[in-house]
Structure 1
């Protein structure tokens, strides 16, 4: 027998003895740690799988992890049917546990929503605040409607139209003046600023005004 096979056989024997002595389930990683690195981790994994495939120990899969446990028939007068029944009960309770966890998540979400909502006292206070704002707005609206200096829609349209005409005229005249000034400055020996001072032109910029938007 090769050295590798001897190590695997020794590891299998030691692991079987360890599991039977402890009488509790372990993962291959746990067994490797508990044997204090006596055998390499790869050898421990192979030995566990070999013992399980030969029926010397039990193998259970939980998610992505495999767990190994000793055969219980060596400790008491168990029947295989008894063990199967226990396995069925385990599956039943695992299903119940999963359903409870799902229900717990739903309740946690409901609690989160309720926690972020206003309490009854806060809702009453907020409603009172909004009622006051609403009443103030209604009073303000009533005062506006009772004023006698309102203008009719026709008068309003006329004002807007006159303003639009005035702004357009302002823009037009400003553009004409700018074009005339540019034409003169082509042959003027001084700067634009000096020309404005010499002629005495008053500009919008001098009075910090701009043409309004229509």
Structure 2
């Protein structure tokens, strides 16, 4: 999977008509309307956000990040699941250059919306030129879209002070547009060799300290 970031797949370089998409969902983004206005930071004063709020509902933000073009395709949905994820896939794969590409690799984690071989088969059945590639279990941090989601959380959703979900959608859309106008590809440095070295160290640690990996007996 990590070799795709360097435009390599199964030992061969990707062609100009092959693309790498990193995709995931940011779940349960709430609209929290503060009972008192948020005060912007001032001279010698931090931002002040009232701790009491009214709930204005929640939505999910799904994003597909073109790793080498540094372009994000996002959408909001009422929640996550197979249908919302496939809506995102359709949004991307129905437009160029992906619609006529030789192959489009979709890097995803093992979330329920796109877990296992059934999800890979479902993707290929809908779009024969799409190939699903899963990150290792418990290693969703290897998915580059998580870096984008981190920026969304810090720069678009904090503090959470929205009157309703339409305001959340507008903020996400505005941030996505601004990001696409200025972004550059991530300078990814963690390679497949680094991952293999990490796994080897973990295996050695488990062999040297078997008591740490043993399961305690039930009471």
The two structures have a TM-score, normalised by structure 1, of 0.22
State the structure with bigger RCO (CA 8 A, min sep 6), 1 or 2: 2
Name the structure with the higher helix share. Answer: 1
The two structures have a TM-score, normalised by structure 2, of 0.21
Name the structure with the higher strand share. Answer: 2
